[in-house]
Amino acid sequence: MENNHSLPGFDWPKCSTHYQNWLFSSVEKLKSVQTETYTIAAEKLKEKHPEVKIPSLDDELWIIKYYSHQLSRFLTTNNLKNSVKETSLTFFNRFYLKCSVIEYDPRIIMFTCITLATKLEDMWKSVYVDKLLASVQDLDISQVFDMECIVCDALNFNLLVLHTSDSIYTIVQMLVEYLKESLDLDDSLMGEHLKIIINIYKQAENNCINAHESPEFLFIYTPTQIALANIMYYIKPNLSSILSIDLFILKKLLNDDDRFLTPLLSKLNSIIDSYEDFLKFRNDFNSQENRDKARDILDTYLSIYELQ
pTM of the complete model: 0.92
Query: Do 154 and 291 lie in a common domain?
Result: yes
C-alpha–C-alpha distance, residues 188 and 279, integer Å: 37
In a domain, 40, yes or no: yes
Same domain, 250 and 267: yes
pLDDT of 184:
78
Kindly state the DSSP code that residue 25 receives in the 8-state scheme.
S
Does residue 2 belong to any structural domain of this protein? Answer: no
- Domain count of the chain? 2
Same domain, 28 and 151: yes
Q: Alpha helix (H) ranges present in the chain? A: 17-21, 27-48, 57-77, 82-98, 106-120, 129-134, 141-146, 148-154, 164-183, 187-211, 215-218, 223-239, 245-248, 261-283, 288-305
- Is 222 within the bounds of a domain? yes
Q: What CA–CA distances, in Å, run from 3 to 20, 63, 213?
A: 8, 27, 21
In a domain, 11, yes or no: no
CA distance 132 to 294: 24
Give residue-wise pLDDT tens across range 226-275.
999 999 999 988 888 888 999 999 999 999 999 999 999 999 999 999 99
Check whether residue 155 and residue 70 sit in a common domain. yes
How many other CB atoms sit within 10 Å of the CB of residue 62?
18
Residues 182 and 149 in one domain: no
Find how far residue 175's CA is from the centre of its chain. Answer: 24
| 114: in domain | yes
Indicate if 46 and 121 belong to the same structural domain: yes
Question: SS3 of 191, please?
Answer: helix
**Domain check: are 98 and 181 in the same one?**
no
Q: What share of the chain is helix, strand, coil (3-state, %, to 5)?
A: 70, 0, 30
DSSP 220: T
- Residue 3 in any domain: the answer is no
| Nearest residue to 267 (alpha-carbon basis) of 4, 19, 12 | 4
223 and 162 Cβ atoms separated by less than 8 Å: yes
Q: Is the domain of 101 the same as that of 239?
A: no
Asked if the structure places residue 15 within a domain, the reply is no
Measure the CA angle with vertex 16, ends 10 and 19; round to 5°: 55
Residues of the chain with pLDDT under 50: 2, 7, 9-12
How deeply is 184 buried, as exposed, middle or buried, from its count of CB atoms within 10 A (0-12, 13-18, 19+)? exposed
d(CA 155, CA 181): 45
Nearest-Å Rg of the Cα atoms of the chain is 21
Whether 18 is in a domain gets the answer no
Q: How far is CA 207 from the centre of its chain?
A: 10
CATH number at residue 129: 1.10.472.10
Instruction: Check whether residue 199 and residue 136 sit in a common domain.
Output: no
Distance, CA of 212 to CA of 223 (rounded, Å): 10
C-alpha to C-alpha distance for 34 and 126, rounded to whole angstroms: 36
- 253 Cβ contact partners less than 8 Å away, ≥ 6 residues apart: 9, 10, 171, 174, 228
Single-letter code of the amino acid located at 288: Q
pLDDT digits (tens, 9 = 90+) for 190-199: 777 888 899 9
Contact 25, 3 (CB under 8 A): yes
Residues 54 and 139 in one domain: yes
Looking at residue 124, what is its pLDDT? 73
- Tell me: do 222 and 241 sit in the same domain: yes
Range of the domain at 94: 23-161+286-305
- Pair (32, 157) in one structural domain: yes
